[in-house]
Amino acid sequence: MIIFGFRKTKNARIDPSKIKSLNRIAFEDSSTQALIVVKDGKLIHEKYADGFDKTSLALVVHG
């Protein structure tokens, strides 16, 4: 398991509207289980589809 520190979006210098757009785009696809955003080794955002949470096992695809 990988453990990340957590940083609020405003402290990570990320435009909150970009996170909102990522959420919309990621969850348009019904096969998306979770969206995790890491910047500079810090977890800055996480969102889960209905029925999933941080304890759920999932296929991880990154880019």
The predicted pLDDT at position 7 comes to 60
pLDDT in tens, 50-62: 999 989 988 777 7
pLDDT in tens, 10-60: 667 788 899 999 999 999 999 999 998 888 778 888 999 999 998 998 877
The predicted pLDDT at position 62 comes to 72
Average pLDDT rounded to a whole number, residues 5-13: 65
Contacts of 45 (CB under 8 A, 6+ apart): 9, 14, 19, 22, 35, 36, 37
Range of the domain at 60: 1-63
Whether the full predicted model's pTM is greater than 0.75, yes or no, is no
Give the number of domains in the chain.
1
The predicted pLDDT at position 30 comes to 92
